[in-house]
Structure 1
Amino acid sequence: MNESITFLQTGLPEGPIVAFTILLLVSLTIPPLFERLGLPGLVGLLLAGVLLGSNGLQLLDADSETMKLLSDIGKIYLMFVAGLEIDLVQFRKKKHRSLVFGLMTFIVPLATSMIIGRFFGFGWNTSLLMGSLFASHTLLGYPIIQRLGLVEKEPVIVTIGATIFTDISALLVLAICVSINAGDFSVYSLFQQLVALAIYTAIVLFGFDWIGKEHFRRTGDDEGNQFLFVLLAVFLASVGAEIIQVDQIVGAFMAGLAVNDVVGNSPVKEKVEFVGSVLFIPFFFVDMGLLLDIPVFIESLTTSFWLTLAIVVGLLGSKFLAAAITKVLYRYSFNEMMVMWSLSIPQVAATLAAALVGLQVGLITDTVFNSVIVLMLITSILGPLLTGKFAPKLPLPKASPKISQSKLWWENHRFERLEEQEPAPFRIVVPVSKSQTKGYLMEMAALLARHQSGQIIPLSISPAHTYMDEPQMQVNLRQSRRLLNKALTISSEFDAEAKPILRIGNDIASGIVHTAREQDASLIVMSWRKNTGLRARLFGTIINRVFWASHCPVAVMRLLDEPVNLRKILVPAKNFSPQTIRTVRFAQLLADTHQGEVKLLHVCPAKTASSDIAAIEDEYINMLNVTGGQVKSEVQVIKADDVALAILKVAKLADMVILRSLRRRTIAGLGVSDITTQLIKELTCSLVLFGEPY
């Protein structure tokens, strides 16, 4: 074994590039492997760090300048993303109750951990830091809540809001503990520290927010410049925290909160989180593994077993007590309390980052640090498991749709033409290309336009050349005119008015959205185009970019038959929301063009009670009544744990499935859920992906 390690060490060149390459390989391969085993990917990164460190293959050195730099960037990025992902809108909805639960789930674990620390012989400062480590939490179970459509439930909103209070408070306690540990602590110095921290917090939270909004307003669509501004804000805030003698992670978290409102759910946020999640944050977890001393870790679980057990049990018990107190105060049900508890259990982001700081400054011992790792492993697995167990038992939020919410986008948003001062007519922009061998897309657009007494705008974008008199330019223009003439022929067959437009340009997505804006279009109808090439992965697909940039709804269609034959339309619905209502309305509109029918499908968890299913059916029936559609419509609610498989089974009897897309963009494609992604791949019938303006 030692000979193999020596061979690996001598066979590899030294330098930062080698370390960076190894880290990239680990980040690429390890997390997906562990997620297939049902374990968090970060567990695999920690174990990879152990394997590659001084106790294993010795290929990476935690004390090297390269690892220190990458780990520090990852630590800062981790806390920045933690602040960026906090939903301030949800917090404002129930801010008072959020503060109460935040206070409970901060003070109770803080006091419990301090008692444990003192009992095992640690000093007051170390005990206080231990308490702050366990008072915060990471919302690992939130994706489960999103999938079940429970984001609007009050206990969920309260727990999300409490995250802001617990994380900020924990980081402030960390800053005080580090200051005390430095030896220059006094009442006056504490006062100075708090004043400096208050001024710094105001500058970051309000100053960065104002400057960010101004910068984004001035730069418009320059995403690269905006991305660099966000990065500058993160590291500027981190440097500022060091200037006032506060740890970098405090500044990074504050920066995340500050630019939260600025970036919203924009493509810039996607890019920032993407860079962090695939590069620097995994590097941080690998470095955590490098710092794990396996002999000491094993000793911690043997000789210091009771300390580790006390920390784990103390954390779980104190978080449970905090949720129970909140339950009594606000009369939540048992299942609601358990969901709040399960969401507040995981100790990952703030806990690990603060623990590393405490270890580096000598505030906590290796034994406590190893206990924190054990706590992270247990809570990161237990928390989501409990969320998955109790969240399905919560009733879905009651639907309270208003009449305005049932209207489609163009029924609520009519642009006025300046010269006539009257609402613009219903217009559909339909990009045409030579890849569309059949005219199904134009036929669908013609049916919609005729039904709405509107107009089709067939659009062809011819590639630009440096010189407009190049022979290839003439060939391209001739081909575009042929496509537009074909579109006109189909429009006339369906008795729909058409106004063809030919544009010259190399950016097809911009040409589509600019035309739609110039023509006050009500809808863009596009053909599905599967593109997984390198260019698409780097810059996004045309469909993806149109989805994000368009001012009006976009319907991306994969039509396998003539539209008049697509009579049975299926609409999977995840929850009661205005977006769901309008998606159903759009399905009813499509069906009404050729006497079709609509089925609304909702999939409940397998353990849902029959009474809850009946209540959900009534809610969806009421939703259909509100939409006021004259199309034959029905509701089907079924029980299944595999949502995608259940939808696929029902879809076998449908001619078309309409799915809703989130109006956001990712690096590699449309911003849709994992279930929607699976459905797109496996559905064998016609498909429509419907998205509305952000």
Structure 2
Amino acid sequence: MEPVLQVLALEPTSQVLGQEPIVPLAILLLVILVVPILFERLRLPGLVGLVGSGIVLGPSGWNLFHTDLSIINLLSDIGLIYLMFLVGLEQDFRQLHQNQKRSWGFAGFTFVIPLLMGILLGRVFGFAINTSILIGSLFTSYTLLAYPILSRLGVINNPVVSATIGATIFTDISAVLILDVCLFSLQADVLSLSYILTLLGRLIIYTTIILLGFDWAGQEFFRRSGDDEGNKLLFVLLSVFIAIISAKLIGIEKIVGAFLAGLAVNTVVGESPTKDKLVFVGSVLFIPVFFVKLGLLIDLPGWSSSITTLKLMLLVVIGVIVSKFLAALLAKICYRYNWQEMLTMWSISLPQVSMTLAGTFLGYRAGLLSMEVLHSVVALMLITSTLGPLLTNGLAVAVTPTPLVEALTVNLPEQKSAEKHSNFTIVVPIYNPQTQQYLMEMAALLAHPEKSKIIALSIATAAARMDAPQLEASLQQSERLLAKANDQSRNLGIETLSLLRIDNAFASGITRAAREQKASLIVMGWDQRTGLRSRLFGNVIDTVLWASHCSVAVTRLVESPQKIQRILVPLENLTSPVLPAVQFAQMLADTNQAQVTVLNVCDRRISSSKIAARRSQLAVLVSQLALANPPEIQIIAHENVAQAILQAARLYDLVVLPFVRNYTIPGGLVMSDLTTQIARQLTCSIVILRDAQNTQISATPKSVANTTSTV
């Protein structure tokens, strides 16, 4: 026994760790956690850091990971499938519909010109025709890495920007189809016309079945499953894998199935919490591992020493940049854009990430693309994903935003009237005794004496049997909370109705009760705790924000609302739904004799004349609310919107933030949205207001409630 122990003691620690499969996973998790955060602070895309991590950890660096490591191969394959699924899921058909003619026009230009450029480049370097076509297809699509920048600058609805965003639908679908044809051609000795027609026939039939069948099945399942977010999530994931398996059975590439599955459930999932969870599942683990895997494949010494690779890489980068420029130039000529708009369109269409990397990875693995092409495309991704957003940040500043009045009057609340106030009902869900007092005070300040109704709502979670001890305990707890709420309301000098509801979930109970009571506003609270379960299956606030029929005020109150004297309403850009937030703030201010300030942060590079125009436009718009005490309007020029708001908020007791969902790049590898950044760092009281009429919700949400967990 003793000799065995000596042998074990002498065995190198590195060898023991090398035999343990959990070690690579632990290192991967550390990389995925740390590297994107570091690169985003350097204002570089997190995916660049992940690819670089793969190079450092792989054979070209420390050689900790090998390219044939089973756990990485499995996770990266799932990441590739998930990436293509999210590309389909993120397609915003509304953008295409809003500016249909120009979107299709630019899509044609930015597809045909890069395709021809790639084919020409492939033939110059002696590649076969199908390889050259595949290289051309890699150039056609683009990833909207600059979307958060465009949203911050308030130019999303500008005709040029809208056309560029809408064109991605056509380029992505076309690139997927060409990729499948090129990979399918490897199975044929001779690529005849009849062979191509057979493949196209299979694709048409398969696409029709997936799009129509999955859409119908999804609608039916979501209708029958009610509020069970876990089952909805599993249904969508199952749909993806069924689409992949059926694609492989008929000889179609699996990423085509994943992409079509994303398109099929696009309308079913919509902007629901299920979509948040789908994006979260992929962006936390699978998609980042795919980027790390790409880095492992890079042969850095061979990359830098091969003259052919360097020439190909240089021409690939120049070819994409020039072809995208020519496409934007043709759009300028056809639709009479100015140079600033044309250059903005060009910069938005530069980044080559999602479709480009997926196609390159599959082409390389199938033997259709060489290592030199793989190196060139990875270099293309690193350069364009960095250069594109930087150019957009500089160029889109001068693009004319959507007219302020046109963008915001759609959310303008109706003028106040006695009849409206008489029907003004506030529902206050109570669950946490520590926040209950301040919530009741907030409702009392918002209510109009003798014209409004306050309902204290408590939810007792249902059990399988109505005589279950757990339900009885929940009912008793709810009754105690409601009794306490009545005592608090009497101390405040207001009348409150108590409502006890039995429901299977807190969120559904709140939204259903609010609808039944014809509520005008839900006032609820949160803390900053969050966890894996809430991110995966959602929390109360996520669901209430999405499902409620009326306005929702999510509050974090650090002191009594009765002490609030200065209220700040930050406005990131001129297309944010600010008017309901201003009206909400003014309702509080009228009761407390407080002062409201509307703050707009604009880019430091904007001229003084444009700043003056912004101030004038905002003053005119706010005047439409016909407030007795108009708010103060401030315009600040600053390079960091969040930092400017945080600095200004130090002088205020309450910050009212309009709730807007933000677009998320497939993979989630972008910085948090503005509201989330501010909510996490503010030390004063906060109200996040989702107006009932607010329809400004974009493709992949990263909701404010991701920073919250409990009511």
TM-score by length of 2: 0.86
Which residue does 2:516 correspond to in 1? Answer: 518
Tell me which residue corresponds to 1:35: 40
Distance 1:394 1:15, change over 3 A: same
Offset at residue 555 of structure 1 (A): 1.2
Q: Is the 8 A contact 1:564 1:594 kept in 2?
A: yes
Could you tell me how far 1:394 is from its partner in structure 2? 1.6
Aligned 8 A contact 2:457 2:482 in 1: no
Query: Which secondary structure does the structure 1 equivalent of 2:319 belong to?
Result: helix
Determine helix, strand or coil for the equivalent of 1:631. coil
1:348 matched to 2:348? The reply is: no
Give the structure 2 partner of residue 284 of structure 1: 290
CA RMSD of aligned residues (A): 3.2
Unaligned runs of 5+ in 1: 1-5, 415-422, 667-671
Amino acid across the alignment from 1:686 = S
| Residue 39 of structure 1, CA deviation | 2.9
Is 1:484 matched up with 2:485? yes
Select between 375-384 and 201-210 the one with higher mean Cα deviation.
201-210
Measure how far apart 1:271 and its partner are. 0.8
| Pair 1:679-2:685 in alignment | no
One-letter amino acid matched to 1:692: D
Aligned residue for 2:229?
Answer: 223
Secondary structure of 2:448 counterpart: helix
1:446-525 equivalences under 5 Å are: 446-450=444-448, 453-460=451-458, 476=477, 479-480=480-481, 482-491=483-492, 493=493, 496-502=494-500, 507-525=505-523
The amino acid that maps onto 2:243 is: A
Deviations 1:469-521 (A, max 9, x none): 99977974674354133223134x2xx43212345679544443343233222
CA 1:596/1:25 → structure 2, altered by over 3 Å: closer, same or farther? Answer: closer
Which of 568, 571, 591 is matched with 2:569 structurally?
Answer: 571
Aligned to 1:242: 248
Preserved CA contact (<8 Å) 2:597 2:632: yes
Partner of 1:617: 615
Matching residue of 2:701? none
C-alpha displacement of 1:529: 2.8
Aligned 1:107-256 pairs, distance under 5 A:
107-182=112-187, 183-256=189-262
- Structure 2: runs of 5 or more not aligned: 1-10, 665-670, 696-711
Cross-structure match for 1:362:
367
* Counterpart contact for 1:265–1:664, Cα < 8 Å: no
Q: Out of 85, 92, 109, which is 2:97 matched to?
A: 92
**Which residue matches 2:635?**
637
8 A contact 1:129–1:174 mirrored in 2:
yes
Equivalent residue for 1:604?
Answer: 602
Q: SS at 1:601's partner residue?
A: strand
Does residue 267 (structure 1) correspond to residue 279 (structure 2)? The answer is no
Q: Which residue of 1 aligns with 2:110?
A: 105
Task: Give how far 1:632 is off.
Answer: 2.0
**Distance in 2 (alpha carbons) for counterparts of 1:174 and 1:82:** 15
| Per-residue deviation, residues 546-603 of structure 1 (Å, max 9, x unmatched) | 3344332221233455545434322112234473222222223333334444322111
**CA–CA distance in structure 2, aligned partners of residues 636 and 373 of structure 1:** 45
Residue type of the alignment partner of 1:489: R
Note closer, same or farther for the CA distance 1:410–1:60 as it changes in structure 2 (3 Å cut).
farther
CA distance in 2: counterparts of 1:236 and 1:314, whole angstroms: 38
Q: 1:475 to 1:637 in 2, by over 3 A?
A: same
- Tell me the SS of whatever aligns to 2:631: strand
Q: What corresponds to 2:331 in structure 1?
A: 326
1:511–1:613 Cα change, 3 Å: same
When structure 1 is superposed on structure 2, of 619-628 and 399-408 the one drifting more is 399-408
Partner Cα separation in structure 1 for residue 209 and residue 474 of structure 2: 55
Name the SS of the counterpart of 2:577 in structure 1. helix
Between 502-511 and 335-344, the greater mean CA deviation after superposition: 502-511
Question: Does the C-alpha gap of structure 1 residues 116 and 537 become closer, same or farther in structure 2, counting only changes over 3 Å?
Answer: closer
3-state SS in 2 of match to 1:194: helix
- Alpha-carbon distance in structure 2 between the residues aligned to 1:351 and 1:434: 49
Q: How far is 1:687 from its partner?
A: 2.3
The answer as to whether partners of 1:426 and 1:452 remain within 8 angstroms in 2 is no
Query: Residue type of the partner of 2:192?
Result: S
The structural deviation recorded for 1:255 is 1.7
Task: Letter of the 1:631 partner, please give it.
Answer: N
Relative to 1, partners in 2 of residues 1:97 and 1:372: Cα closer, same or farther, differing over 3 Å? same
- SS of the equivalent of 1:288 reads helix
Q: Which amino acid aligns with 1:458?
A: A
Residue 660 of structure 1: how far off its partner (Å): 1.5
**Identical residues among aligned pairs (%):** 48
- Asked if the contact 1:463–1:505 (Cα under 8 Å) also holds between the matched residues in 2, the reply is yes
- Higher mean Cα deviation, 350-359 or 585-594? 585-594
Residue 522 of structure 2 aligns to which amino acid in structure 1? I
Equivalent position amino acid for 2:605 in 1: K
Distance 1:7 1:108, change over 3 A: farther
Question: Structure 1 151/401 Cα, relative in aligned 2: closer, same or farther at 3 Å?
Answer: closer
- Give the SS at the match of 1:629: coil
Whether 2:78 is the aligned partner of 1:70: answer no
Preserved contact between residue 544 and residue 665 of structure 1 (Cα < 8 Å): no
Query: Could you tell me which amino acid in structure 1 is paired with residue 158 of structure 2?
Result: K
Secondary structure, counterpart of 2:155 in structure 1: coil
TM-aligned CA distance change 1:209 to 1:472, over 3 Å:
closer
Conserved 8 A contact 1:266-1:665: no
- 1:499 match: secondary structure: strand
Q: Which amino acid aligns with 1:606?
A: R
- Please say if residues 427 and 520 of structure 1, whose CA atoms lie closer than 8 Å, have aligned partners that are also in contact: yes
- TM-fit CA distance, 1:376: 0.9
Whole-Å separation in 2 of the counterparts to 1:210 and 1:219: 14
**Change over 3 Å in CA distance of 1:31–1:650 after alignment to 2:** closer
Higher RCO (C-alpha under 8 Å, 6+ residues apart): 2
Cα shift at 1:181? 3.1
Moved more, 227-236 or 72-81: 227-236
- Do the aligned partners of residues 557 and 53 (structure 1) sit closer, same or farther apart at CA in structure 2, a change above 3 Å counting? closer
Q: What's the CA shift for 1:191?
A: 1.0
Alpha-carbon displacement from aligned partner over 1:315-369 (angstroms, at most 9, x marks no partner): 1011011011101111112221112111111111111111111112221211111
User: 1:142 offset after TM fit, Å?
Assistant: 1.0
What residue is the counterpart of 2:658 in the other structure? 660
Give SS of 2:304's match.
helix
Provide the rounded CA distance (Å) in 1 between the counterparts of 2:371 and 2:578: 51
For 2:415 and 2:204, how far apart are their aligned partners in 1?
Answer: 44
1:296 aligns with 2:302: yes
- Is the Cα–Cα contact under 8 Å of residues 653 and 684 in structure 2 kept in the other structure? yes
Deviations 1:26-56 (A, max 9, x none): 3223322333333322222223323333344
Q: Does 1:311 align with 2:309?
A: no
Q: Are the equivalent residues in 1 in contact too, given 2:227–2:508 (CA < 8 A)? A: no
Q: Equivalent residue for 2:529?
A: 531
**Corresponding residue SS for 1:599:** strand
| Matched residue SS, 1:63 | coil
Q: Secondary structure at the match of 2:340?
A: helix
Structure 2 distance, partners of 1:663, 1:110, is 34
How far apart, in 2, do the equivalents of 1:424 and 1:237 lie?
A: 53
Mean Cα displacement is larger for which, 677-686 or 168-177?
Answer: 677-686
Distance 1:249 1:478, change over 3 A: closer
Q: TM-score under structure 1 normalisation?
A: 0.88
Q: Is the 8 A contact 2:277 2:536 kept in 1?
A: no
Q: Is the 8 A contact 1:403 1:626 kept in 2?
A: no
1:596-620 deviations in whole A, cap 9, x for unaligned?
Answer: 4432211110000122212222221
Count of residues in Structure 1 that have an aligned counterpart in Structure 2: 672
Equivalent in the alignment of 1:691: 690
Deviations for 1:438-482, whole angstroms, at most 9, x for unmatched residues?
844323312322258111112345788975599977974674354
Offset, 1:310: 1.0
| Residue identity opposite 2:377 in structure 1 | V
